[in-house]
Amino acid sequence: MTMGLLGLFLLLFLVPHHYSLNAQPPSSCSFPAIYNFGDSNSDTGGISAAFTPIPPPYGQGFPHKYSARDCDGRLIIDFIAEKLNLPYLSAYLNSLGTNYRHGANFATGGSTIRRQNETIFQYGISPFSLDMQIVQFDQFKDRTKQMYQDNDKSVDKSKLPVPEEFAKALYTFDIGQNDLSVGFRTMSFDQMRATFPDIVNQLATAVKNIYERGGRSFWIHNTGPIGCLPVNLFYKHNMPPGYFDEYQCVNDQNLMAQEFNKQLKDRVIKLRTELPEAAITYVDVYAAKYGLISNTKKEGFDDPMKICCGYHVNDTHIWCGNLGTANGKDVYGTACENPSAAVSWDGVHYAEAANHWVANLTLNGGSFTDPPIPITQACYRH
């Protein structure tokens, strides 16, 4: 082999994660595993394992009997797994029925990027903030390696990751919404804005940690239009003109989410320079979700401000799956008759049909991802 041919060989086979956007993209990445970090939007059982299990009718449409998801069925992370031909992720905190051969889920409902000085029993904020999820991942990776080195015959390695595959896995992030919700509850908008650089830097630190431990492929969701969650309407009456937009979304909350997302995207762009071997995709979940909310009739969905599960009449709200009292009578927060047409499942979380709609837009690339590639090619750096 001549030196010229040898050089070409090395270029093609030793640097597989780079290609020009003007060239024909390579084949699918064949990710062997997914490691997810997030909140209830991607929690597949963590908060239920750590605290009180999520009750029915949550999970009523999930393929298995027990889903432990804040939804009637599948979340976007489930559709990501399906798209990559991988099984649904087991929660890291779940001790029963877990299989980590193809990844693990460190997300828990109520998680934030920044640690919050309050307990889950006050406002539902999880103690497993992003930095704790990263600590759990580090321990998980180290213990996996140690179990292989010890060659303990009592350990079922068929349910463990292959240590060499951590570098080839996809690392997904879907977190930040609760940082905003805490801010709306405890801060002025100016105070919130002042926290954004620190919040996005903490997410960047998490990505750097994984990169330093061998991870190379990252899929990062921005935060959705939090002002469009129907929970905002439950106790809001006689608000001033301009408080809600034409779709009944809270204008100022969405403006704050947009500002947060801009800073997040700028930080992701900077990360690409700081981590020269990383392939980092920024996913505009905000645009996808707002696009659905603003076109529900055209897309075959019900009113996006109507909750599918729970009871809400005037100022009486009974949460999905809970028993309460309305007009002196016991009322149970049941599910609607047609969840497949619902955008909102319970006022905070999206229904499976809406998650599927958003997943179809974002996982196939195009204008909703930067760079505009499908998730199946998210291992290639641009």
Residues 139, 109, 342: CA angle, nearest 5 degrees:
140
Number of C-beta neighbours around residue 73 at 10 A? 21
Question: CA–CA separation, 34 vs 27, rounded Å?
Answer: 18
Closest CA to 287 of 347, 372, 213, 207: 372
Q: For residues 333, 339, 343 and 346, what is the CA-based torsion angle, rounded to 10 degrees?
A: 20
Query: Between helices 130-150 and 189-212, what is the axis angle to 10°?
Result: 10
Would you call 64 a catalytic residue per the annotation?
A: no
On the CB side of 368, CA atoms within 13 Å amount to 24
Has 349 been annotated as catalytic? yes
* 156 is a catalytic site residue: no
191 by Cβ neighbours in 10 Å (0-12 / 13-18 / 19+) ranks as: exposed
The CA–CA distances, whole Å, from 278 to 201, 215, 328 equal: 17, 8, 59
CA triplet 233, 69, 72: central angle to 5 degrees? 65
Q: Which of 40, 126, 129, 181 is catalytic?
A: 40
Pick the closest to residue 290 from 338, 243, 253 (CA basis).
253
Spatial separation of the C-alpha atoms in residues 378 and 173, rounded to whole Å? 14
The size of the chain, in residues, is 382
Cα distance between residue 348 and residue 305, in whole Å: 10
Residue 280: strand pairing partners: 218
Among the options 221, 317, 349, 356, which is catalytic?
Answer: 349
CA distances from 209 to 9, 130, 204, 268, 282 (A): 32, 12, 9, 14, 18
Q: Which of 43, 72, 302, 346 is catalytic?
A: 346
* Rounded distance between C-alpha atoms, residue 343 and residue 358, angstroms: 10
Catalytic residues: 40, 346, 349
